Amino acid sequence: MIASSAVKHDKIVGMWLFIVAGMVFLMVVLGGLTRLTGSGLSMVDWRPVTGWLPPLGTEQWQAVFELYKQSPQYQKVNFGMSLAEFQNIFWLEFLHRLWGRIIGLAFALPLIFFLYKKWISKPMILPLCGLFVLGGAQGILGWYMVKSGLVDVPEVSQYRLMAHLGFAFILYAALIWAGLKIYKGQGVHPEGGSRFYALFLWGMSYITILAGALVAGLDAGLTYNTFPLMDGDWVPGGLYNATPWYLNHFENVTTVQFQHRLLAVTLFVFSCLFWLKYKNIKAVQACFFLVSLQALIGIATLLAVVPISLASLHQAGGLLVFTAFTWLNFEVQSS
């Protein structure tokens, strides 16, 4: 009877972590939309404790609008916009921040309850409490990113954008892994040397995602809108125009797009090879399908010159790919 109750409690705790992971998934998509629509710089202050409510009444809205008018985005991009137009971009960023606060509550309150009821095993207590702390750190990192676009140039730093997105993916994967660990217990190890291969693909997908963040941060997808060639060349000129050379990989639009393409194609090829060898494993099938779908969405996004709908779908697809590789590695590594 005690064992049966423990299993039931593990299922509940595991499902809670999966739900929070789903909320983080939506948070990442919302974050992408705020950047794509130019909404991310509409809120020029950060009140993590008292910022639960939007402006109430005309006076509060006008006060917030006056603060925005001092920002470089208003002065250099949206000069002369009306209050109603400002509200259109404000609401998406407000929703993004509000959703982050709701995620914090959705994690903290059940965690306190589960700890009180002793439904969480001792080895998992510290990792789960650590995840809560890291979630708060992600909020701070998000504001650090936004601040970079409130100084002179109305664009956030691509470095900070990459860090913010990369950290979100790590938190998301940790939630999925912890959920699987508690809900399922352990994975089923496939045959052969798949542990290293699965870990390699997981890492490759993460690096490709970080490279995509640089593409987004530099608006590099708005150039070289052909595939597979880059305006007629397999390897475009000007890859190393900047000095020192390594800055090209972070600041040269041509290099940033080229490296993202190269990483994505490499991931696709290795995923195909992995599928050919282990195609009887469901997690491998999911990885292969999602990588293939993501490649098609990425190409379509590029050829269409990055419309918001496809760009948002591409970011969500990247997270689905990372989800599949997280699941695969759990099945392989935790057996």
pLDDT band at 104 (very low <50, low <70, confident <90, very high): very high
| 118-171-285 Cα angle (round to 5) | 100
What is the four-CA torsion angle of 17, 18, 23, 26, rounded to 10 degrees? 150
DSSP class of residue 233 equals B
Residue 4, pLDDT score: 72
Across the chain, what does the average pLDDT equal? Answer: 93
Token pair for 101: 């606060």
Q: Report the predicted TM-score, pTM, of the whole model to 2 decimal places.
A: 0.94
pLDDT band at 48 (very low <50, low <70, confident <90, very high): confident
Bond into 244 cis (ω within 30): yes
Q: What is the pLDDT of residues 142-156, one digit of tens each?
A: 999 999 999 988 999
Q: pLDDT > 90: what percent of the chain?
A: 86
Cα 23 to Cα 31: distance, rounded to the nearest angstrom: 12
Query: What average pLDDT does range 105-124 have in this prediction?
Result: 95
Q: What is the pLDDT of residues 180-236, one digit of tens each?
A: 999 988 766 655 568 889 999 999 999 999 999 999 999 999 999 999 999 899 999
Q: What is the pLDDT of residues 256-293, one digit of tens each?
A: 999 999 999 999 999 999 999 988 888 999 999 999 99
Q: What is the pLDDT of residues 67-81, one digit of tens each?
A: 999 999 999 999 999
DSSP class of residue 189 equals P
What Å distances lie between residue 128 and 114, 155, 170, 183, CA to CA? 11, 34, 14, 14
Q: CB of 230 within 8 A of CB of 236?
A: yes
Cα 303 to Cα 307: distance, rounded to the nearest angstrom: 10
